[in-house]
Structure 1
Amino acid sequence: MSEKQVLFSRPLPIAVFIVLALAADQLIKYLVEAYLPFNEAVPVVPMLALYRTYNYGVAFSMLSGMEGWFIVGMRLVVVTFVLWLWRRTPKDRFFAHLGYALIIAGALGNLVDRLIFGYVIDYILFHTQTWSFAVFNLADSFITVGAGAIILDELLQAKKANA
Protein backbone atom coordinates (compact mmCIF):
# COMPACT_ATOMS: atom_id res chain seq x y z
CA MET A 1 0.00 0.00 0.00
CA SER A 2 1.46 3.39 -0.94
CA GLU A 3 1.43 6.31 1.46
CA LYS A 4 -0.84 9.26 0.77
CA GLN A 5 1.17 12.32 -0.23
CA VAL A 6 0.12 15.48 1.64
CA LEU A 7 0.26 18.96 0.13
CA PHE A 8 3.42 20.26 1.80
CA SER A 9 5.37 17.07 1.14
CA ARG A 10 5.69 18.17 -2.52
CA PRO A 11 8.31 20.77 -3.57
CA LEU A 12 6.09 23.21 -5.50
CA PRO A 13 3.36 23.71 -2.87
CA ILE A 14 5.89 24.11 -0.06
CA ALA A 15 7.93 26.58 -2.12
CA VAL A 16 4.84 28.64 -2.98
CA PHE A 17 3.73 28.62 0.67
CA ILE A 18 7.17 29.70 1.88
CA VAL A 19 7.38 32.52 -0.67
CA LEU A 20 3.89 33.79 0.24
CA ALA A 21 4.61 33.58 3.99
CA LEU A 22 7.94 35.34 3.49
CA ALA A 23 6.25 38.06 1.42
CA ALA A 24 3.60 38.60 4.12
CA ASP A 25 6.28 38.81 6.81
CA GLN A 26 8.34 41.31 4.84
CA LEU A 27 5.32 43.43 3.85
CA ILE A 28 4.21 43.72 7.48
CA LYS A 29 7.76 44.61 8.58
CA TYR A 30 7.93 47.27 5.84
CA LEU A 31 4.67 48.78 7.11
CA VAL A 32 5.89 48.60 10.72
CA GLU A 33 9.07 50.45 9.73
CA ALA A 34 7.12 53.06 7.77
CA TYR A 35 4.30 53.81 10.21
CA LEU A 36 4.99 52.54 13.73
CA PRO A 37 6.93 54.74 16.16
CA PHE A 38 10.13 53.27 17.55
CA ASN A 39 10.09 51.94 21.15
CA GLU A 40 6.61 53.31 21.78
CA ALA A 41 3.64 51.07 22.59
CA VAL A 42 0.57 51.51 20.42
CA PRO A 43 -2.31 49.73 22.19
CA VAL A 44 -4.46 47.45 20.03
CA VAL A 45 -6.62 45.66 22.61
CA PRO A 46 -6.06 45.06 26.33
CA MET A 47 -2.84 43.06 26.75
CA LEU A 48 -1.77 43.53 23.10
CA ALA A 49 0.21 46.40 21.66
CA LEU A 50 2.30 47.12 18.62
CA TYR A 51 5.82 48.05 19.67
CA ARG A 52 8.55 48.45 17.05
CA THR A 53 11.97 47.45 18.27
CA TYR A 54 15.06 45.78 16.88
CA ASN A 55 16.40 42.38 17.86
CA TYR A 56 20.14 41.95 17.33
CA GLY A 57 20.13 38.33 18.50
CA VAL A 58 17.90 35.38 17.77
CA ALA A 59 14.57 34.50 19.40
CA PHE A 60 13.88 36.63 22.48
CA SER A 61 17.20 38.48 21.93
CA MET A 62 19.28 35.44 22.86
CA LEU A 63 22.82 35.62 21.48
CA SER A 64 22.48 39.37 20.92
CA GLY A 65 26.19 39.80 21.67
CA MET A 66 27.23 37.38 18.92
CA GLU A 67 28.69 38.44 15.59
CA GLY A 68 26.01 38.98 12.93
CA TRP A 69 27.56 36.54 10.47
CA PHE A 70 27.52 33.80 13.12
CA ILE A 71 23.77 34.29 13.52
CA VAL A 72 23.26 34.31 9.73
CA GLY A 73 25.26 31.10 9.46
CA MET A 74 23.31 29.53 12.29
CA ARG A 75 20.00 30.39 10.58
CA LEU A 76 21.24 28.86 7.31
CA VAL A 77 22.21 25.68 9.17
CA VAL A 78 18.73 25.53 10.72
CA VAL A 79 17.03 25.97 7.33
CA THR A 80 19.27 23.30 5.80
CA PHE A 81 18.56 20.90 8.66
CA VAL A 82 14.80 21.46 8.43
CA LEU A 83 14.92 20.89 4.65
CA TRP A 84 16.78 17.63 5.33
CA LEU A 85 14.10 16.60 7.84
CA TRP A 86 11.37 17.55 5.35
CA ARG A 87 12.88 15.28 2.68
CA ARG A 88 13.27 12.33 5.10
CA THR A 89 9.80 12.54 6.65
CA PRO A 90 7.18 10.16 5.23
CA LYS A 91 4.98 11.96 2.72
CA ASP A 92 1.73 11.25 4.58
CA ARG A 93 2.59 13.30 7.70
CA PHE A 94 0.64 16.52 7.19
CA PHE A 95 1.45 18.34 10.44
CA ALA A 96 5.17 17.60 10.20
CA HIS A 97 5.37 18.96 6.66
CA LEU A 98 3.27 22.00 7.58
CA GLY A 99 5.59 22.60 10.55
CA TYR A 100 8.69 22.40 8.38
CA ALA A 101 7.21 24.89 5.90
CA LEU A 102 6.38 27.33 8.71
CA ILE A 103 9.82 27.03 10.33
CA ILE A 104 11.60 27.58 7.01
CA ALA A 105 9.41 30.59 6.19
CA GLY A 106 10.00 32.12 9.63
CA ALA A 107 13.74 31.50 9.60
CA LEU A 108 14.05 33.02 6.12
CA GLY A 109 11.90 36.01 7.10
CA ASN A 110 14.20 36.85 9.99
CA LEU A 111 17.27 36.04 7.88
CA VAL A 112 16.21 38.61 5.27
CA ASP A 113 15.97 41.24 8.02
CA ARG A 114 19.38 40.29 9.37
CA LEU A 115 20.99 40.48 5.92
CA ILE A 116 19.37 43.81 4.98
CA PHE A 117 19.39 45.68 8.28
CA GLY A 118 21.74 43.78 10.59
CA TYR A 119 18.85 43.16 13.01
CA VAL A 120 15.34 41.71 13.04
CA ILE A 121 12.30 43.98 13.21
CA ASP A 122 9.95 42.96 16.04
CA TYR A 123 6.58 44.57 16.71
CA ILE A 124 4.08 42.39 18.65
CA LEU A 125 3.93 42.86 22.43
CA PHE A 126 1.72 40.93 24.85
CA HIS A 127 1.66 42.58 28.28
CA THR A 128 -0.16 43.39 31.50
CA GLN A 129 0.53 46.22 33.92
CA THR A 130 3.12 44.09 35.73
CA TRP A 131 4.38 41.69 33.04
CA SER A 132 5.32 41.69 29.39
CA PHE A 133 6.32 38.96 26.98
CA ALA A 134 9.26 39.41 24.62
CA VAL A 135 8.47 41.50 21.55
CA PHE A 136 8.24 39.28 18.47
CA ASN A 137 7.07 39.26 14.84
CA LEU A 138 5.14 37.15 12.32
CA ALA A 139 8.25 35.14 11.37
CA ASP A 140 8.75 34.21 15.04
CA SER A 141 5.11 33.11 15.13
CA PHE A 142 5.65 30.93 12.07
CA ILE A 143 8.59 29.23 13.80
CA THR A 144 6.66 28.69 17.04
CA VAL A 145 3.51 27.37 15.35
CA GLY A 146 5.69 25.21 13.08
CA ALA A 147 7.43 23.64 16.06
CA GLY A 148 4.02 23.03 17.64
CA ALA A 149 2.79 21.33 14.44
CA ILE A 150 5.81 19.02 14.44
CA ILE A 151 5.24 18.13 18.10
CA LEU A 152 1.55 17.48 17.35
CA ASP A 153 2.57 15.24 14.45
CA GLU A 154 4.90 13.25 16.71
CA LEU A 155 2.14 12.84 19.31
CA LEU A 156 -0.32 11.67 16.64
CA GLN A 157 2.26 9.20 15.29
CA ALA A 158 2.86 7.83 18.79
CA LYS A 159 -0.89 7.46 19.34
CA LYS A 160 -1.26 5.73 15.95
CA ALA A 161 1.60 3.34 16.81
CA ASN A 162 -0.02 2.44 20.13
CA ALA A 163 -3.47 1.85 18.60
Structure 2
Amino acid sequence: MTTFLERLTRPFPAFVLIVLMLIFDQAIKYAVELYLPLNEAVHVVPMLALYRTYNLGVAFSMLSDTSGWFIVTLRLTIVIFVLWLWHRTGREHHLAHLGFALIIAGALGNLIDRFLYGHVIDYILFYTQTWSFAVFNLADSLITIGAGFILLDEVLAHRRSKE
Protein backbone atom coordinates (compact mmCIF):
# COMPACT_ATOMS: atom_id res chain seq x y z
CA MET A 1 0.00 0.00 0.00
CA THR A 2 1.48 3.34 -1.03
CA THR A 3 1.29 6.42 1.14
CA PHE A 4 0.23 9.89 0.09
CA LEU A 5 3.88 11.03 -0.08
CA GLU A 6 4.91 8.01 -2.16
CA ARG A 7 2.17 8.80 -4.65
CA LEU A 8 3.54 12.31 -5.19
CA THR A 9 6.59 10.84 -6.92
CA ARG A 10 4.29 10.06 -9.86
CA PRO A 11 3.07 12.83 -12.19
CA PHE A 12 -0.71 12.45 -11.91
CA PRO A 13 -1.04 12.61 -8.10
CA ALA A 14 1.40 15.55 -8.01
CA PHE A 15 -0.64 17.27 -10.74
CA VAL A 16 -3.86 16.73 -8.73
CA LEU A 17 -2.27 18.26 -5.62
CA ILE A 18 -1.03 21.24 -7.64
CA VAL A 19 -4.48 21.82 -9.17
CA LEU A 20 -6.20 21.55 -5.76
CA MET A 21 -3.77 24.05 -4.23
CA LEU A 22 -4.28 26.41 -7.20
CA ILE A 23 -8.06 26.25 -6.81
CA PHE A 24 -7.78 26.93 -3.06
CA ASP A 25 -5.32 29.81 -3.62
CA GLN A 26 -7.45 31.45 -6.30
CA ALA A 27 -10.70 31.00 -4.35
CA ILE A 28 -9.18 32.75 -1.33
CA LYS A 29 -7.82 35.57 -3.49
CA TYR A 30 -11.22 36.00 -5.13
CA ALA A 31 -12.88 36.26 -1.71
CA VAL A 32 -10.19 38.71 -0.58
CA GLU A 33 -10.91 40.88 -3.62
CA LEU A 34 -14.65 40.82 -2.91
CA TYR A 35 -14.71 41.31 0.85
CA LEU A 36 -11.48 42.80 2.20
CA PRO A 37 -10.94 46.55 2.09
CA LEU A 38 -7.80 47.68 0.25
CA ASN A 39 -4.86 48.73 2.46
CA GLU A 40 -6.89 48.47 5.66
CA ALA A 41 -6.05 45.97 8.41
CA VAL A 42 -8.76 43.62 9.62
CA HIS A 43 -7.39 42.24 12.89
CA VAL A 44 -8.07 38.53 13.38
CA VAL A 45 -6.10 37.71 16.53
CA PRO A 46 -3.23 39.50 18.24
CA MET A 47 -0.32 39.73 15.79
CA LEU A 48 -2.36 38.55 12.77
CA ALA A 49 -4.41 40.69 10.42
CA LEU A 50 -5.92 40.35 6.99
CA TYR A 51 -4.63 43.21 4.87
CA ARG A 52 -5.36 43.32 1.14
CA THR A 53 -2.59 44.86 -0.87
CA TYR A 54 -1.09 44.40 -4.31
CA ASN A 55 2.42 43.21 -5.03
CA LEU A 56 3.89 44.28 -8.36
CA GLY A 57 7.13 42.34 -7.83
CA VAL A 58 8.04 38.93 -6.51
CA ALA A 59 8.31 37.82 -2.87
CA PHE A 60 8.37 40.72 -0.41
CA SER A 61 7.87 43.16 -3.34
CA MET A 62 11.40 42.59 -4.62
CA LEU A 63 11.83 43.55 -8.27
CA SER A 64 8.64 45.63 -8.18
CA ASP A 65 10.27 48.25 -10.41
CA THR A 66 11.03 45.74 -13.20
CA SER A 67 8.96 44.81 -16.22
CA GLY A 68 5.95 42.57 -15.66
CA TRP A 69 7.14 40.32 -18.47
CA PHE A 70 10.49 39.85 -16.75
CA ILE A 71 8.68 38.64 -13.63
CA VAL A 72 6.42 36.32 -15.67
CA THR A 73 9.49 34.88 -17.43
CA LEU A 74 11.26 34.48 -14.10
CA ARG A 75 8.31 32.60 -12.58
CA LEU A 76 7.95 30.35 -15.63
CA THR A 77 11.68 29.61 -15.49
CA ILE A 78 11.35 28.64 -11.82
CA VAL A 79 8.43 26.32 -12.59
CA ILE A 80 10.39 24.65 -15.41
CA PHE A 81 13.47 24.30 -13.19
CA VAL A 82 11.44 22.77 -10.35
CA LEU A 83 9.78 20.36 -12.80
CA TRP A 84 13.26 19.35 -13.96
CA LEU A 85 14.35 18.82 -10.34
CA TRP A 86 11.19 16.81 -9.65
CA HIS A 87 11.94 14.56 -12.62
CA ARG A 88 15.61 14.03 -11.62
CA THR A 89 14.94 13.38 -7.94
CA GLY A 90 14.72 9.74 -6.88
CA ARG A 91 11.40 8.22 -5.84
CA GLU A 92 12.70 7.65 -2.32
CA HIS A 93 12.74 11.44 -1.72
CA HIS A 94 9.04 11.75 -0.87
CA LEU A 95 9.29 15.03 1.05
CA ALA A 96 11.25 16.64 -1.79
CA HIS A 97 8.53 15.66 -4.26
CA LEU A 98 5.90 17.16 -1.98
CA GLY A 99 8.03 20.32 -1.77
CA PHE A 100 8.36 20.52 -5.55
CA ALA A 101 4.58 20.22 -5.98
CA LEU A 102 3.94 22.98 -3.42
CA ILE A 103 6.51 25.31 -5.03
CA ILE A 104 4.98 24.78 -8.46
CA ALA A 105 1.47 25.41 -7.11
CA GLY A 106 2.59 28.60 -5.37
CA ALA A 107 4.51 29.92 -8.36
CA LEU A 108 1.60 29.20 -10.71
CA GLY A 109 -0.88 30.75 -8.25
CA ASN A 110 1.01 34.03 -8.26
CA LEU A 111 1.53 33.78 -12.03
CA ILE A 112 -2.25 33.45 -12.52
CA ASP A 113 -2.68 36.64 -10.46
CA ARG A 114 -0.19 38.43 -12.67
CA PHE A 115 -2.15 37.46 -15.79
CA LEU A 116 -5.62 38.11 -14.32
CA TYR A 117 -4.96 41.31 -12.38
CA GLY A 118 -1.53 42.62 -13.43
CA HIS A 119 -0.32 42.15 -9.84
CA VAL A 120 -0.31 39.56 -7.05
CA ILE A 121 -2.96 39.78 -4.33
CA ASP A 122 -1.45 39.58 -0.83
CA TYR A 123 -3.55 39.48 2.33
CA ILE A 124 -1.79 37.93 5.37
CA LEU A 125 0.03 40.24 7.79
CA PHE A 126 1.94 39.26 10.93
CA TYR A 127 2.83 42.20 13.17
CA THR A 128 3.67 43.46 16.64
CA GLN A 129 3.55 46.96 18.13
CA THR A 130 6.99 47.76 16.69
CA TRP A 131 7.39 45.38 13.75
CA SER A 132 5.48 43.89 10.85
CA PHE A 133 6.33 41.16 8.39
CA ALA A 134 5.78 41.59 4.67
CA VAL A 135 2.20 40.97 3.56
CA PHE A 136 1.95 37.62 1.79
CA ASN A 137 -0.56 35.05 0.53
CA LEU A 138 -1.20 31.29 0.40
CA ALA A 139 0.88 30.88 -2.77
CA ASP A 140 3.88 32.49 -1.04
CA SER A 141 3.31 30.14 1.91
CA LEU A 142 3.22 27.12 -0.39
CA ILE A 143 6.56 28.14 -1.91
CA THR A 144 8.13 28.61 1.53
CA ILE A 145 6.72 25.36 2.96
CA GLY A 146 7.75 23.52 -0.21
CA ALA A 147 11.32 24.78 0.14
CA GLY A 148 11.25 23.66 3.78
CA PHE A 149 10.19 20.13 2.77
CA ILE A 150 13.01 19.95 0.23
CA LEU A 151 15.55 21.04 2.85
CA LEU A 152 14.14 18.56 5.38
CA ASP A 153 14.36 15.78 2.80
CA GLU A 154 18.02 16.67 2.18
CA VAL A 155 18.81 16.59 5.92
CA LEU A 156 17.04 13.24 6.36
CA ALA A 157 18.74 11.77 3.27
CA HIS A 158 22.12 12.92 4.60
CA ARG A 159 21.41 11.26 7.95
CA ARG A 160 20.31 8.04 6.25
CA SER A 161 23.50 7.96 4.20
CA LYS A 162 25.60 8.16 7.36
CA GLU A 163 23.86 5.12 8.94
TM-score in same-fold range (> 0.5): yes
SS at match of 1:130: coil
1:22-56 superposed Cα distances (whole Å, 9 cap, x missing partner):
00000000000000000000000000000000000
The percentage of counterpart residues that share the same residue type is: 67
Partner of residue 20, structure 2: 20
Partner of residue 158, structure 2: 158
Q: Aligned pair count?
A: 159
CA–CA separation in structure 1 for the residues paired with 2:7 and 2:109: 22
CA–CA separation in structure 1 for the residues paired with 2:19 and 2:145: 17
Partner of residue 106, structure 1: 106
Counterpart residue identity of residue 155, structure 1: V
Shift of 1:17: 0.4
CA–CA separation in structure 2 for the residues paired with 1:22 and 1:126: 23
SS at match of 1:102: helix
Counterpart residue identity of residue 42, structure 1: V
Partner of residue 35, structure 2: 35
CA–CA separation in structure 1 for the residues paired with 2:26 and 2:17: 14
* RMSD of equivalent CA atoms: 0.8
Equivalence map 1:40-55=2 (5 Å):
40-55=40-55
CA–CA separation in structure 2 for the residues paired with 1:107 and 1:57: 13
Partner of residue 82, structure 1: 82
1:54-104 superposed Cα distances (whole Å, 9 cap, x missing partner):
000000000000100000000000000000000000012111000000000
CA–CA separation in structure 2 for the residues paired with 1:104 and 1:19: 10
Shift of 1:6: 1.4
Partner of residue 94, structure 1: 94
Counterpart residue identity of residue 162, structure 2: N
Counterpart residue identity of residue 154, structure 1: E
CA–CA separation in structure 1 for the residues paired with 2:20 and 2:57: 25
Partner of residue 59, structure 1: 59
The TM-score with structure 2 as length reference comes to 0.96
Q: Stretches of 4+ moved more than 4 A in 1?
A: none
CA–CA separation in structure 1 for the residues paired with 2:74 and 2:115: 13
Equivalence map 1:142-153=2 (5 Å):
142-153=142-153
SS at match of 1:121: strand
The TM-score with structure 1 as length reference comes to 0.96
**5+ long unaligned stretches in structure 1:** none
SS at match of 2:130: coil
